[in-house]
Structure 1
């Protein structure tokens, strides 16, 4: 999303409120607590931290050893406004970043969609080297080409994923998936027709592909709360769901 300063500004303003971000941030913390219990001293790297919403949520949950990197100067500036010291780094340069430091957890949300397989393999390999032996990589990713729409154009995403892509790439760099799920399954029946309609409008020229708008906007309080509760209830009722616009992964070093 480098170069879309207006999108970073929207993200900065809405991450703490918008139902989707709230649910994602809670998923990350729950994954950390499942692995590390109530420890708050673990070293966490947010790789592709955007405007720092995830870092801010972790800080408010008591985590203290936080580090962030992002390839956008706009994103880094917003992180600094939140009081975080974040490094400006192209993710392709991750193999050369602080090679002597390792982390208990790496969080990488909605970043892999900007890289092709060769680049992504190098990035994942670097993350494997940055993880401690018992560390985990937590990653959320946009899923299924069916959900491609104006949002992807607005944030300059170049691809969407299925689980099979990571099942193919991760073993090549010494990583393995320990848990995964698509989400939000219930809301996908609302999201999918909207995205399909966007696709049709773009093809027919009814929407301006040169000036796309993302889905990052705050609906009224009742709608936002309802969407949050639906996604949250789904998470509590179903350990995994087979379909959704996002794919959430927990990854660790392979034993091999």
Structure 2
């Protein structure tokens, strides 16, 4: 999404309110608490942190040892406006950035969709190198090509994933998948219908590709809260779901100690 300053501005304004971001941020914290319990001093890196909504949420939850990196000047500027410790760096150059610093947890949300396989393999290897031996990588990703729509065009997404993609890519980086689930399963018919409508508009020429708009907008209060409650209930009642517009994974080093459960 580098170079799309208007999308970063929308993200900065809305990610603390919009149902999708709120749920994702809480899902990440749930994964961190499964990993480290109530500890708030673990070292966390948000790689591709955008405008800093995730880091800000972690800070509000008491996490104190935070670091962010992003390859967008606009995103980093918004992070600094929040007072967050974020450094500008192209993720393709991650291997040479602070190579001796390791983290308990790395977050990399909705970033892999901008990388082709060769570059993604390099990024995963660099992220694995930054993990402590028992550390975890938490990543949310755009899922299933069927959900492709104007949002993808607006933010520059070049690919979507299924779990099999990561089962293929992770071992070469020395990583293994610990947990994985698709989400927004209950909302899938609604999201799929909306995205198919968007694609039809493009196919019929009713909207030009350069006019594509992202899905980052705030619906009415009641609808925003309803959508948030649906995805939260889904997470609490359905441990894993087979379909959804996002794929959430928790990954660990293949050399990690046996999971204590």
- Could you tell me how far 1:190 is from its partner in structure 2? 0.4
Does the Cα contact within 8 Å between 2:133 and 2:255 map onto a contact in 1? no
The 3-state SS of whatever aligns with 1:109 is coil
In 2, distance between residues paired with 1:203 and 1:167? 33
Separation of aligned partners in 2, 1:92 and 1:204: 37
Matched residue, 1:48: 48
Partner of 2:78: 78
Cα RMSD of the aligned pairs, angstroms, is: 0.8
Aligned with 2:209: secondary structure? coil
Paired with 1:81 and 1:208, the residues of 2 have a C-alpha distance of 34
Name the structure 2 match of 1:138.
138
- Alignment length, in residue pairs? 256
Structure 2 CA distance, aligned partners of 1:124 and 1:207?
36
Looking at structure 2, the residues matched to 84 and 232 of structure 1 have their Cα atoms a distance apart, in angstroms, of 27
Asked whether the 8 Å contact 2:66–2:85 carries over to 1, the reply is no
In structure 1, the partner of 2:9 is 9
Q: How far apart, CA to CA, are the structure 1 residues paired with 2:118 and 2:38?
A: 37
**Gaps in structure 1 of 5+ consecutive residues:** none
| Structure 2: tracts of 5 or more residues without a match | 257-261
What SS class does the counterpart of residue 137 from structure 2 fall into?
strand
What is the distance in 2 between the residues matched to 1:53 and 1:229? 20
Q: Which residue of 1 aligns with 2:259?
A: none
Alpha-carbon shift at residue 255 of structure 1 (Å): 2.9
Aligned to 2:162: 162
Q: Distance in 2 between matches of 1:173 and 1:83?
A: 33
User: What TM-score, normalized to structure 2?
Assistant: 0.97
Is the 2:108–2:137 contact (alpha carbons within 8 Å) kept by the matching residues of 1? yes
CA displacement at 1:160 relative to structure 2: 0.4
